[in-house]
Structure 1
């Protein structure tokens, strides 16, 4: 089988308003089970968004010309698999925005057979500049046995630093990597190199095209201190064919590091070169920039969450046949009874279904909304507003008042809408809208809905096991939960509580369904079985999570989440950041959202890669502007919230933003006293 070619490209780019690829991984392989004339590429790229519309990733291949392309997709993290002809000799990964290419990386020498090791190690730098808009500089690295190289590209208003490593390839293979730099305007530029370079002094030819043509030829010598002395002759040709000539000399220092690029030992010996050479730049990068600063990663997102050790252990319990084992059915019944106190559902039916919580949300709408029925959608949040899509899907007519996303819905305002829209049959509400972290007063809104006789559907996925809920007492008709939030179990289970009123409404609506039918579930449970095969290991995990919660006591669990909410908010404010939700009482007990002074994806990635802590961004209109700390279940603790605030503050300092990290952590700990 063909060994995989893995290209790892790490780049950081400043002063650029266009999207660019800052990391890429391309794995090349020949799939033996498919037609032998095709090669298969697994491509992953990470895009720094920049400004404007989202850019699309496209992969082209060269086979005696640029013959075809594969669309990789859009977004920040893009992954796809592409097939290219066996005879291809090169590929290009490009970003296209508004019909214009804004970033490009080319890899040449992509061949299945191994090359013969005949050439001495060499690095030739070629480049050209086109008259495209924006101006384009192309740097070509042509090499034999070049394991890695660091390149710093600089122009007047554009800087890009990239570390390129090629692994898994025969060291004697010949290949070429082209880096495309899209500058904001035409200007002279320079490039510094460090790493596995064993060639004689490097010659750089620079050409800049703007409204006039400038040609500059520079010969540079790399010394042990990486001091470059360049003597250049510049010729400027005007359109009217008048020629002016200037000669000048300049001295400049490398901005990479004072390392001899050739001190990579063992080096050249009698024209040969070691196949296991060290790369000084790469070693420096790993040691001083990217060494691992953590022993274990932490997940501090608003679900899915980390799993407690005992829950992980439950996942490896001895499995059974859930359809036939009567002991499993008894465990299912026990889980349902353990859930009732958390839901306040003593009279309502309670089900646990296999499927992510979205299954419960859709089932609730499908069984309550008849075609043409008016549905009041309490739309203060991403998920709150999202209920309108489900309502339309099942033929309902959503009423969307346009509530403020930064505060809980006013129960009086909900009541006024119901007074105005007297024919509303169903009301949908998200108790805790995690993308915005806004929290709604379920008790008071339920009272308003009940007084008008409408049926209330509540998404409590992120509030179950974090705050008190009394479904029966407050008049909630359908309550939906999920296993992956404050319950700290793996995703994959829907928790559904259905009142008698909602059960009868489902019969009136008469929706034809099997998987989402309350009646089907009731009939099977009465017979001591399930309408489809349950997941035994997920139920075991949920049961262990519920055991832990009851062992601590619900009062303690709820108080711990309130303290975590207060602590996270105070910590964020102490760092000089603005919480997204206006008042703490309108903030979820399970997550805190805040605005960021730099793009949220960039800040999140920095924290994850440097400090090993995963914080969350947001969705929809809030994507890119808001970050979130999850404090649900086991995350709702002093050590977890303090960790989140500490690494957030450290990342801000790394980016040159003032932050009092010590004060912020102290504020977090004070909130738990």
Structure 2
């Protein structure tokens, strides 16, 4: 697939013949991460308990909390399972949540709260714009019943990186509690608990740490999690009960994804070797910059202005050319070794290209070459978007 770039940053094994996953996760993993899953582990065994302790300790350290201030609660299932566990555990049944949405994942949080029967209200910014601190402040001032705010760190339906620090300041100034969905950003974009005073945040194994799917994790302030006992609407998604069991026994309450945990520990080792959050974030940012520059040279335009582009995933408008068909473009890109992502916008047609996973700027240059070849094979001589898409972006950004 590609040669190894250097000893400190091993690429996937070229003999595997896998396409690169240019998605926000699952993503392309290192060969050593895959290899870590070749051994079976007993979920009650002391060795596996030690693995769980190591996992939690390393994640708390990545979150930047003071010793004893934060705790980590791994939760079986996908990222959405972990988000539901965080919301259902941290928000009391008589609480009310302000949901900050600018894409599919903020709206999913609102839907989760609806199904759980938790009161909530919504600031919906559409596809293009971030929620800002001043409007959060106005919403909190207008509704004293709001107890919690949930913000999406990186909204991957558009690729926007939301201003969590600004939001946190508005929330704390009014004595409310902040929850952060950092599913697609934690590990590559700073979210220091000493600077962003969240009660809890959530992420997943198969995102910027570059593990494989199978569990998410809630990192919470110990005092807030202790106070959340009895809040949960669910037996299996009770983050407090999961944590209490781990404290008492060292074990997960129900069967853990043992192989996924082993893979994640190897992914954490590689993350540290790359320089932690700063090193991982720098590679992803370079991936983005190289890819965006090349795609713009082909005529593609990004949904977002540069100031809001995350280093996680980038949304591009579909070309206006009558020969462009996304499904064919997708298949042509896949045949060249790259799996891209459909768009999730509500207003215009788009697609997304992820910048995360075990790849570097050399791979991203190959992505651009593959895109150029695919356009040529489709008979598309211009990747410029429809005028209506540009007008809509300008109108909403005004």
Answer whether TM exceeds 0.5 for this pair.
yes
Structure of higher RCO (CA pairs closer than 8 Å, 6+ residues apart): 2
Cα drift, residue 585 of structure 1: 2.5
The answer (yes or no) to whether the contact 2:75–2:237 under 8 Å persists in 1 is: no
Q: CA deviation at 1:504?
A: 4.1
CA displacement, residues 538-558 of structure 1 (integer Å, 9 cap, x when unaligned): 111000000001011122222
Structure 2 Cα separation of the partners of residues 592 and 417 of structure 1: 30
Distance in 2, matches of 1:490 and 1:352, equals 14
**Corresponding residue for 1:430?**
152
Asked if residue 527 in structure 1 is aligned to residue 249 in structure 2, the reply is yes
- 2:125 is matched with 403
User: C-alpha separation between the residues in 2 aligned to 1:612 and 1:559?
Assistant: 24
Match status 1:626 vs 2:350: yes
**Cα distance in 2 between the residues matched to 1:471 and 1:407:** 25
Whether the 8 Å CA contact 1:599–1:625 is kept in 2: the answer is: no
1:566 maps to 289
Report how far residue 465 of structure 1 moved: 1.5
For each residue in 1:610-663, what CA deviation from the matched residue of structure 2 results, as whole angstroms up to 9, or x when unmatched?
Answer: x232111133636x811111111323x112211222211221122222259xxx
- 8 Å CA contact 2:178–2:198 kept in 1: the answer is yes
The corresponding residue for 1:319 is 40
SS in 2 for 1:628: strand
The answer to whether the aligner puts 1:443 opposite 2:165 as a matched pair is yes
* SS of equivalent to 1:470: coil
SS in 2 for 1:378: strand
Q: Distance in 2 between matches of 1:376 and 1:385?
A: 12
Give the match for residue 193 of structure 2.
471
* Corresponding residue number in structure 2 for 1:544: 266
RMSD of aligned residue pairs (Cα, Å): 2.2
| Contact 1:606/1:651, CA 8 A, preserved across alignment | yes
Whether 2:56 is the aligned partner of 1:336: answer: yes
The 8 Å contact of residues 43 and 255 in structure 2, kept in 1 or not, is answered as yes
Aligned counterpart in structure 1 of residue 329 of structure 2, from 596, 603, 606:
603
Question: For residues 358-369 of structure 1, what are the structure 2 equivalents within 5 Å?
Answer: 358-369=80-91
Whether the 8 Å contact between 2:232 and 2:238 is mirrored in structure 1 is: no
Larger Rg: 1
Deviations 1:370-400 (A, max 9, x none): 4454321111111112211011112223222
1:431 deviates by 0.5
1:512–1:457 distance in 2 versus 1, CA, 3 Å: same
Once the two structures are superposed, what CA deviation does each residue of 1:259-313 show, in whole Å capped at 9, x if it has no partner? xxxxxxxxxxxxxxxxxxxxxxxxxxxxxxxxxxx96532222211111011011
Matching residue within 360, 364, 384 for 1:641: 364
State how far apart, in whole Å, the 2-side matches of 1:372 and 1:327 are: 41
Of stretches 596-605 and 374-383 in structure 1, the one that deviates more from structure 2 is 596-605
Following TM superposition, by how much is the alpha carbon of 1:460 offset from its aligned partner in structure 2, in angstroms? 0.7
User: Which whole-Å CA distance do the structure 2 matches of 1:524 and 1:430 have between them?
Assistant: 28
Change (3 A) 1:393 1:451: same
> Which consecutive segments of 4 or more residues in structure 1 shift more than 6 A?
none
Deviation at 1:327, TM superposition (A): 1.6
Deviation at 1:342, TM superposition (A): 2.5
State the Cα deviation string for residues 37-58 of structure 1 (Å, max 9, x = none). Answer: xxxxxxxxxxxxxxxxxxxxxx
Q: How far apart in 1 are the matches of 2:18 and 2:219?
A: 37
CA–CA distance in structure 1, aligned partners of residues 246 and 173 of structure 2: 34
Normalising by structure 1, we get a TM-score of 0.51
Tell me the equivalent position of 1:652.
375
Measure how far apart 1:505 and its partner are: 4.5
- Alignment of structure 1 residues 564-603 onto 2, 5 Å: 564-581=287-304, 583-597=305-319, 598-603=324-329
Matching residue of 1:357: 79
When the two structures are superposed, what TM-score results if normalisation uses the length of structure 2? 0.84
Q: Per the alignment, in what secondary structure is the counterpart of residue 550 of structure 1?
A: helix
When you count strand as a share of all residues, which structure comes out higher?
Answer: 1
Cα distance in 2 for residues equivalent to 1:364 and 1:433: 18
Task: Count the aligned residue pairs.
Answer: 361
Structure 1: give runs of 5+ residues left out of the alignment. Answer: 1-293, 661-673
DSSP-derived class of the 2:381 partner: coil
Over 3 Å counting, the alpha-carbon distance change for 1:451 and 1:461 in structure 2 is same
Contact 1:455–1:502 at 8 Å: present in 2 too? no
**268, 280, 284: which is aligned to 1:557?**
280
Give, in whole Å, the separation in 2 of the partners of 1:658 and 1:322. Answer: 56
- 2:203–2:216 CA contact under 8 A, matched in 1: yes
Q: Judging changes above 3 Å, is the alpha-carbon distance between structure 1 residues 619 and 659 closer, same or farther for their aligned structure 2 residues?
A: closer
Deviation digits for residues 322-341 of structure 1 (CA, Å, limit 9, x no counterpart): 11x11211121111122223
Contact 1:580 1:595 in 2 (8 A): yes
CA distance in 2, matches of 1:558, 1:381: 23
- Tell me the SS of whatever aligns to 2:82: helix
